[in-house]
Amino acid sequence: MFGYDVVGMKDLLWEFIVTNTTAETQEWLQKMGDTQNGAANFNTAFILIPRKTGKAIIQLSHKQKEKLAAIRNDFSVIGWSVDRLCRLWLLLQLDDTDRDKYFRTIENLFLSAEMNELVALYSALPLLAYPEMWIKRCAEGIRSNIAGVLEAIMLHNPYPAENLEQNAWNQMVLKAFFTEKQVQLIIGLDARANKELAYTLADYAKERWAAGRKVNPMLWRLVGKFIDEKLFNDILIGLTHNDVTEKNAIALAVKESSYQPAKYLFKGDIGVANWDSFIV
């Protein structure tokens, strides 16, 4: 049901809560986390959490961050509000032995959630039981126009890379560029690069150029390995522009390509050492 040490995660999240909330809040959370209280009380608690915890940004020690990485690789709570953290902890208290009941309880939260609740729910996807059950829900979330929801799905979240089918993954990455998210924070960005996505991103770049708009140089990071005759013609268009940053990004993409006609375009130093040069 879980692909990680869920008991260790519950204990660690509680440690985070203890260092970021009052004793009164902790007592209330423990009472609400008792699954014997029933679904109605659980739903009420999920909604009421911000009133009990506030919305301050949590503070973690370096050691606590290391513990989290050791339990669930690529998962992060950095920059989270305390109510988001507590909602995650509460979700992990649900009884997961009855698969259908577990699904219904969480799905009903999704269906009735306001924005901050949705952010917490989508953030929790990599920690929920039965990860295969949430694939459709994740794909639907990508169609949201709420910035916070999209960031919860896209950034510092290993669930999409681990579970989404290619079409949904490609849609998410394209939307990350379209909505100007920090694409470098997408987990699995390089590992799940594919030729279909490279074509789609190149077409998106041409649309941006036609509208007189700049292209995020990180886009070419996902194109380089797949350069062929078609994509070569696209990058030639990019090189006619006067944007030095984009030219450098295209040059770095070419460096990672095995397409020889593209490699003949550049000789010697291309001006940048790696993709980190383009991260602001």
Residue 195 to residue 228: CA distance in whole angstroms: 10
Q: Are residues 130 and 260 in the same domain?
A: no
Residue 274: predicted pLDDT: 82
The predicted pLDDT at position 35 comes to 59
- In tens digits, the chain (280 residues) has pLDDT values of 889 999 999 999 999 999 999 999 999 999 998 755 555 688 999 999 999 999 999 999 999 999 999 999 999 999 999 999 999 999 999 999 999 999 999 999 999 999 999 999 999 999 999 999 999 999 999 999 999 999 999 999 999 999 999 999 999 999 999 999 999 999 999 999 999 999 999 999 999 999 999 999 999 999 999 999 999 999 999 888 888 888 889 989 998 899 988 888 876 555 666 888 887 5
- State both tokens at 90: 């509460």
* Tokens matching residue 275: 């993709």
Same domain, 104 and 136: yes
Kindly state whether residues 118 and 239 are assigned to the same domain. Answer: no
Domains of the chain: total: 2
Q: Where are the alpha helices (DSSP H) in the chain?
A: 6-18, 23-32, 39-53, 62-71, 82-91, 99-112, 115-123, 135-142, 147-154, 159-163, 166-178, 195-210, 229-238, 244-255, 260-263
Say whether both 119 and 238 belong to one domain. no
Q: What integer pLDDT is reported at residue 271 of this predicted model? A: 62
Q: Is residue 78 part of a domain?
A: yes
Task: Assess whether 243 and 163 both reside in one domain.
Answer: no
Do residues 185 and 155 make contact, with C-beta atoms less than 8 angstroms apart? yes
- 202's tokens: 């190149």
- Whether 104 is in a domain gets the answer yes
In a 3-state reduction of DSSP, which class is residue 168? helix
Domain assignment of residue 88, yes or no: yes
In a domain, 186, yes or no: no
CB-based contacts of 177, cutoff 8 Å, min separation 6: 183, 201, 204, 216, 218, 219
**Measured between alpha carbons, how far is 195 from 138 in angstroms, rounded to an integer?**
23
Q: Are residues 164 and 261 in the same domain?
A: no
Q: Do the domain assignments include residue 259?
A: yes
- Is the entire prediction scored with pTM above 0.75? yes
Alpha-carbon distances of 201 from 92, 100, 171, 183, 230, rounded to whole Å: 37, 39, 10, 13, 13
Burial of 140 (0-12, 13-18, 19+ CB in 10 A): exposed
Tokens 């998106």 identify what position? 204
Q: Which domain holds residue 157?
A: 6-181
